[in-house]
Amino acid sequence: MSYIKSPLSDADLKVVGDALQGALVDLVDLSLVAKQVHWNVVGPRFRSVHLQLDEVVTTARLHSDTVAERASAIGVSPDGRAVTVAKSSAITTVPEGWIKDTDAVKVLVDALGVVIGRMRERISATDEPDPITQDILIGLTADLEKHAWMFQAETV
């Protein structure tokens, strides 16, 4: 049951709602992964990687709120509960314990790659049914790709 009347048809709402829910899950998990690595990173590049991880957390949290509010605006109840995120995320598990700075960078490159790939699929899926949602997904994907570029540049 929805308390908000959607401007979208039922078919379009299904596609867009799934895209927004998937994006929300990925962004919440990305913020958790980046924060976990942030707390446990060690090594000669500790400070720069530590600070860079917080930038990813900030980006993911900002965009997760935008995505969740877009879902609400079109009549879809967003679900960012831990159980939902754990069940639906495609990001691999972060290793337990201390994480060397080089490994931390790899974890983030991999996590960002997964999320960006899924966001690009959602961009394509929302093209026709809801260009407004597509625009939100394009903007957040651009920010994620910038983070991915910066982490990848550290692996050269």
Give the per-residue pLDDT at 82.
96
CA distance 3 to 103: 46
pLDDT digits (tens, 9 = 90+) for 58-84: 999 999 999 999 999 999 999 999 999
**Could you give the C-alpha distances from 85 to 21, 112, 124, 132, in angstroms and in order?**
10, 16, 23, 24
Give the per-residue pLDDT at 156.
78
Give the per-residue pLDDT at 32.
97
Q: What is the rounded average pLDDT of the residues 118-139? A: 98
DSSP-H helix ranges across 74-130: 82-88, 101-125
How many helices, marked H, and strands, marked E, lie in the chain?
5, 2
Res. 1: pLDDT tops 60: no
Q: What is the rounded average pLDDT of the residues 41-61? A: 97
pLDDT digits (tens, 9 = 90+) for 130-143: 999 999 999 999 99
Res. 57: pLDDT tops 70: yes
* Residues linked to residue 100 through DSSP beta bridges, in sequence order: 42
Task: Reduce the DSSP state of residue 80 to 3 states and report it.
Answer: coil
Burial track 9-42 (b if 16+ CB lie within 10 A, e otherwise) = eeebbebbbebbbbbbbbbbbbbbbbbbbbebbe
CA distance 13 to 100: 44
The percent of residues in the chain predicted with pLDDT above 70, rounded, is 99
Give the per-residue pLDDT at 28.
98
Residues contacting 85, CB < 8 A, separation 6+: 25, 28, 29, 32
Task: Tell me the backbone φ, ψ of residue 5, rounded to 5 degrees.
Answer: -80, 125
